Chain A
């Protein structure tokens, strides 16, 4: 139930036609859009890839639908010269529905808007992602290293990081 309504709401962000479901998830280029991966193998119900400027709208949708924030993380797609930010959301009720919102930004200028204004708990997750990938969260109140030393200027989870 919540799955369908959230899916429709997220699809409404995109003006164009909805991409076909079940394309290869991750590990390659994929257009923006909402897909429903097989929960049995992938472990989540809804996967929305949005552009960075659609992010706040998408997060607002899940916030209004009563989702809680699980985590935020990044992936370095060095071959495509892109960084991906992955937002995980889940629900407290028995209508199990895991929503993944992902956005890709160019590697040389990784900037995405902060969602800590919507989810206060995003604060640390974004700081951590900034630590590990150097992704800048525009509008973040306190974007200083959290897990790394306070003077760290390296980003260890980038694929071209050499210790």
Chain B
């Protein structure tokens, strides 16, 4: 009993550490990547290749005074950044990095991750409402309508994958795809010929869910100043920032597990955690690449894309897969 408890605590600590280190160094990677794309050096002063920039930023953010604007709702204002960070870290607990490396495998892992992901919208709403700032309120309303409209196609696509694999257990889904890239869910099979499209939909939705360009309407810095975190400084802002990057990692992990075969090797050799990490960082690099290439969509363009294109297609795909599962 006590050993299991210890196990859980160690696992949670590792999850937090993984999330935090990832968040910090993804900021560095993003800044360096953006600099590459924009033909400038990026942070390169602190340490070799600027690798000490994230700790320096962290210290700066933590030592700054936490300002609460006058008239703000103090409780909501303080709760929101924490609420942005905690679900992201919690989601790591159930992600299987390889067959042996998983903190707590659950039968309903997919469901749990989606449940926690939904809480991100709450954090943004709290932040916007609690800040007592018109820009923040407008941004948070945008972000929530965006989250709601993109969770639907995302879930429908996930259900398609779950139906094909017959499990909501992330580990089982991964194992189901083992033994070479032709087994991966991303490639069409008899039961689900539209899987590549599902993958694209899922990827677009995870971009939108993380509130990043071209879907960064919740921040929209050239329109709404800084969106929902306009009034946040110091570590409040830092937590939102880290939460965003942790969410990116979660999105990449989930995409890898659901579509790209988890920790499986493309050629069936040496499956393990290295393949998993390689895949998620490739996905994250794509996230960064997209962010620094595309301009921002409009709010109606964004909602139209979800309700008029993504949801019908994913629903059709769901029905098709359900029918074909019965046939084959």
Q: Touch between A and B in complex, CB under 8 Å?
A: no
